[in-house]
């Protein structure tokens, strides 16, 4: 019997990905994200993905620094190197990569390295995983997460879970910025 989490990501991935070029402005990329109704844009060069810009990148690297979106190029704020998967990667493996890396989106590339889709944490959660499998996914080890919460040593915010980054205990938002 094939479990839901063993199906390949190509079965659930979004094939029409919101993309832009590295020299595009954040303003134009943001408008594309709104058109697509998504929270990220994959940066493409010669048909291949080279980075990603997420809502969190925009918040931390542009808004919080009071930069003008029309003056910011995507290459200045994109996250690299890009973590990608193949269309044949299982849902379980994709979820495991996201959990271990602390990311919520995985671009899918073919054998030539060309972008063919994207899988998000919401895509994986929306698949009808039975409760037993879901509980099993939740039971897997969390390497960076400490079970106790507390005060973030970077921003001072109280958080239920703190991540260890080079011996410093930080909240999820600061973890995303520091990684």
| Location of structure tokens 């260890």 | 164
Looking at residue 122, its pLDDT comes to 85
Segment 130-177, tens digit of pLDDT: 545 656 666 654 444 444 678 888 888 888 788 888 778 888 888 888
Segment 45-63, tens digit of pLDDT: 998 999 999 999 999 999 9
Backbone angles phi, psi at 169, to 5 degrees: -90, 115
pTM exceeds cut of 0.75:
no
Query: What is d(CA 172, CA 56) in angstroms, rounded to the nearest whole number?
Result: 11
CATH topology of domain 4-139: CBS-domain (3.10.580)
For the ranges 89-98, 117-126, 137-146, 158-167, the one whose mean pLDDT is highest: 89-98
């Amino acid at each position: 019997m094939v479990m839901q989490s063993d199906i390949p990501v190509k079965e659930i991935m979004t094939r029409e990905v919101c993309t832009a070029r590295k020299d595009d402005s954040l303003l134009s990329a943001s408008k594309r994200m709104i058109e697509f109704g998504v929270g990220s844009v994959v940066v493409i060069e010669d048909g291949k993905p080279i980075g990603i810009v997420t809502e969190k990148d925009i918040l931390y690297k542009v808004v919080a620094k009071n930069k003008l979106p029309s003056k910011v190029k995507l290459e200045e704020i994109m996250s690299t190197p890009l973590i990608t998967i193949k269309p044949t990667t299982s849902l379980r493996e994709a979820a495991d990569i996201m959990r271990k890396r602390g990311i919520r989106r995985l671009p899918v590339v073919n054998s030539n390295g060309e972008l063919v889709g994207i899988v998000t944490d919401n895509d994986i959660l929306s698949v009808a995983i039975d409760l037993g499998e879901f509980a099993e996914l939740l039971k897997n080890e969390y390497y960076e997460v400490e079970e106790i919460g507390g005060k973030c040593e970077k921003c001072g915010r109280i958080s239920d879970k703190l991540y260890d980054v080079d011996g410093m205990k930080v909240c999820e938002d600061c973890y995303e910025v520091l990684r």
